[in-house]
Amino acid sequence: MKKLIILSLFLPFAFAAKAQFTIVNTSTLNLVELRSGETWPINLQRVIKESDTSYLLQFRDQQSTAEVVMSSLRFKNMEQLKYFQKGLSALKNGSDGETARFKDYSIKRIDVKKQGAQYLLTLIDGPITNFKQLDADKMIAAIIHL
């Protein structure tokens, strides 16, 4: 009888300990790592959480020069990432000053003498980064091959 009483005291704790955590399958894969070792890094990543896949463009906000402030642009699905790729592709064939505007961000083409086309990515909440045509081409190629 004493064994049953003692067992009944520990039994609820055994079930409670089992329910305290769950194992979640997550992984992050760098699709394109632009300027990774430099002062102004940019990475395009695929983030998988259980059965949900999203994409993340991480970059250092170029408005903050005194401190390192990392920002990110999240694409909820492949369709949103493809719109980003289409915007870059359209601007590649565009001219100086053209802008591709989206709900959460915009991309502006800026032609710089002797350096070629550059792009200014501005998030709606303020963070900014820029990248060159070569970097844009790498991102376009990586997205197309997904």
Domain count, the chain: 1
The pLDDT value given to residue 40: 82
In a domain, 32, yes or no: yes
Domain of 95, CATH number, reads 3.30.2450
CA 19 to chain centroid: 32
In a domain, 76, yes or no: yes
The pLDDT value given to residue 144: 93
Chain segment 83-125, per-residue pLDDT in tens: 999 999 999 998 999 999 999 999 999 998 888 899 999 999 8
Chain segment 24-82, per-residue pLDDT in tens: 667 888 888 887 666 788 999 999 887 788 999 999 888 877 777 889 999 999 999 99
Given a cut of 60, whether residue 19 has pLDDT beyond it is no
Question: Domain limits at 48?
Answer: 22-144
Helix (H) or strand (E) holding 10: helix 2-18
Find, among 110, 139, 141, 105, the residue nearest to 124 by Cα.
105
In a domain, 3, yes or no: no
CB within 8 Å of 102: residues ≥ 6 apart: 83, 84, 87
The pLDDT value given to residue 69: 82
pLDDT tier for residue 8 given thresholds of 50, 70 and 90: low
In a domain, 138, yes or no: yes
pTM greater than the 0.85 cutoff: no
Find, among 44, 41, 144, 55, the residue nearest to 92 by Cα.
144
In a domain, 1, yes or no: no
Separation CA 48–CA 25 (nearest Å): 8
In a domain, 51, yes or no: yes
Count of C-beta atoms within a 10 Å radius of residue 121: 24
CA dihedral 72, 88, 38, 74 (to 10 degrees): 10
